[in-house]
Structure 1
Amino acid sequence: MTGPAWELTLKVGTAGQTHALAAVLGAQLVAGDLLVLTGELGAGKTTFTQGLGEGLGVRAGIISPTFVLVRIHPSRPDGPRPGGPDLVHVDAYRLGSASEIDDIDLENTMDGAVTVVEWGRGRVEHLSESRLEVDLVRTLGGGSPAANLTAGELTGRAPAAATATLDFDTDDDDEPRTIVLRGFGPRWVTPPDLPEAGPGPAPEPEPEPEPTERTS
């Protein structure tokens, strides 16, 4: 298996910084991009995806797709990127294999959207020759068995190997986090242009008009 072309490690101190960093990245994404998010409970996966949505200019109201598997957030005609790609947000936590990913027909939306898959490592690599992997790691004091997982230990680790509660991503505190990005394939020969994390706005989790949902 070919390794990443590069690896970039960034430190953030607040949820607002996570959101702001992802918004800068989202503004650089294009239709067909595939992002694979890995992170345990409260690591910031939803906050990060909300930031991507802001940068992409899609409809607000991004929440975890845990129970519906897929949420589609359309590009806003009055947003910063009218006519830009939609955001397809997937939670693969309950999907055990690449074949189950195929069952939800992501191939039909990938060409016109940016696809973000939580817990997708080992399940979605066949969907595209290029992908951006994003590990979000927090420092916890005790608690769940996942509390002491490092970025390296999260790589390739099945979610069930940690704890059954990891799919509930609360993202609700300002504990420092490490964000590790890795680029694979011709799309990501060079890393995106990301500044050092600044203060940034706090995410706004309230859902607005209901996005399209798919459960199968």
Structure 2
Amino acid sequence: MHELGIELAQLLRAGDLLVLTGPLGAGKTTLTRGIGDGLRVRGPVTSPTFVLARTHPSLVDGVPLVHVDAYRLSSALELDDLDIDFARSVVVVEWGGGMLDGVAESWLEVEIVRPTGASEAGTDPASDADEPRTVTVTAFGPRWGAGPTA
């Protein structure tokens, strides 16, 4: 997941939004950590569960990474209250499915699926570290050549 994040970061620019979905322990934060490493932002990139959003400035005069955990948010209005600079950052939102209507005209949805039988919520990190995942990336909007978002 980390290596995929590093590769994905090479495609990203200011204004890009990624929405990550998947069960606990699927690798959403690990993917985001890889994106942060690929963008060369100040770290460590850790789950912002209790602060809801964390901004990681670039170490190389590049674009900052905003990492959001929307698990405890109940609406797009609460997300809007975080006052995130979507236009000048790469924004990664974990658990943001259905909460980003009207936030951006283009975004990537990244769904991560863990295989059946994987340890629940990453309770056995040693066995989960190299566990294969299925990752599906779906592009929406003109930024990704996916046509208009209706």
Judge same fold: TM > 0.5, yes or no: yes
Extract structure 1 runs of 4+ deviating beyond 3 A.
Answer: 169-172
**Cα distance, 1:62–1:134 mapped onto 2, change above 3 Å:** same
TM-aligned CA deviation for residue 128 of structure 1: 0.3
Residue 74 of structure 1 is aligned with which of 49, 57, 66? 57
For residues 8-29 of structure 1, the C-alpha deviation after alignment (integer angstroms, 9 at most, x for no partner) is xxxxxxxxxx211110110220
Extract unaligned runs of 5+ from structure 1: 1-17, 77-81, 145-165, 191-216
Higher relative contact order (CA 8 A, sep 6+): 1
Separation in 2, partners of 1:110, 1:186: 16
How many pairs were matched up?
Answer: 143
Structure 2 counterparts to residues 9-158 of structure 1, below 5 A: 18-76=1-59, 82-106=60-84, 109-141=85-117
Relative distance call for 1:54 and 1:187 in structure 2 (3 A) is same
- Deviation string 1:82-137 (CA, Å, 9 cap, x unpaired) is 2211000000001111111111112xx11211000001110013210000000111
TM-score by length of 1: 0.62
- Tell me whether 1:186 sits opposite 2:142 in the alignment: yes
Over 3 Å counting, the alpha-carbon distance change for 1:23 and 1:143 in structure 2 is closer
Distance 1:46 1:170, change over 3 A: farther
Q: Which runs of 5+ in 2 are unaligned?
A: none
Equivalent residue letter for 1:36: V
How many angstroms does 1:72 deviate by? 0.6
- The share of aligned pairs that are identical, in percent, is 57
Residues 41 and 170 of structure 1 are in contact (CA less than 8 Å); yes or no, is this contact kept in structure 2?
A: no
The secondary structure found in structure 2 opposite 1:134 is: strand
CA pair 74-143 structure 1, distance change in 2 beyond 3 A: closer
TM-score when scaled to structure 2? 0.88
Structure 1 Cα separation of the partners of residues 62 and 58 of structure 2: 6
Are 1:43 and 1:171, in contact at CA under 8 Å, matched by a contact in 2? no
Query: 1:60: how far off?
Result: 2.3
